[in-house]
């Protein structure tokens, strides 16, 4: 199963606006994507409540995984998104 590990760049982490942007982008992917913090349990990346519950702050290292057609492209797109400051308007 392909994975990507990325450090959260947004000043507020995966909270409020950045979480909404990330979850909406995950929902648009053609394959389900999961996200986890450290060795924690992976949660659906398209669930706002699950993503907020991760408590990922700026600088937190998260791992994305997906399986199926388009997994690599989905992971690349979402990892790129998380590596940018989504708080910057």
For the stretch 11-63, pLDDT in tens is: 999 999 999 999 999 999 999 999 999 999 999 999 999 999 999 999 999 99
Q: Is 15 a catalytic residue?
A: yes
What's the whole-model pTM score? 0.95
- Which member of 15, 34, 63, 64 is catalytic? 15
pLDDT tier, 87 (very low <50, low <70, confident <90, very high otherwise): confident
3-state per-residue secondary structure call for the chain? CCEEEEECCCCCCCCHHHHHHHHHHHHCCCCCEEEEECCCCCEECCCHHHHHHCCCCCCCEEEEEECCCCHHHHHHHHHHHHCCCCCCC
Nearest Cα residue to 19 out of 86, 65, 89: 86
48: its two tokens = 């706002």
**What is the third-level CATH fold of 3-82?**
3.30.1340
6: its two tokens = 């990325």
Q: What backbone phi and psi angles, to 5 degrees, belong to 69?
A: -60, 130
């Amino acid at each position: 199963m392909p994975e990507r590990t990325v450090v959260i760049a947004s000043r507020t982490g995966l909270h409020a606006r950045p979480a909404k942007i990330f979850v909406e982008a995950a929902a648009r992917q053609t394959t389900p994507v999961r996200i986890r913090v450290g060795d924690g349990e992976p949660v659906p990346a398209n669930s706002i409540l699950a993503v907020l519950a991760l408590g990922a702050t700026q600088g937190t290292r998260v791992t994305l995984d997906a399986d199926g057609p388009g997994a690599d492209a989905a992971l690349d797109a979402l990892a790129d998104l998380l590596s940018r400051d989504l708080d910057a308007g």
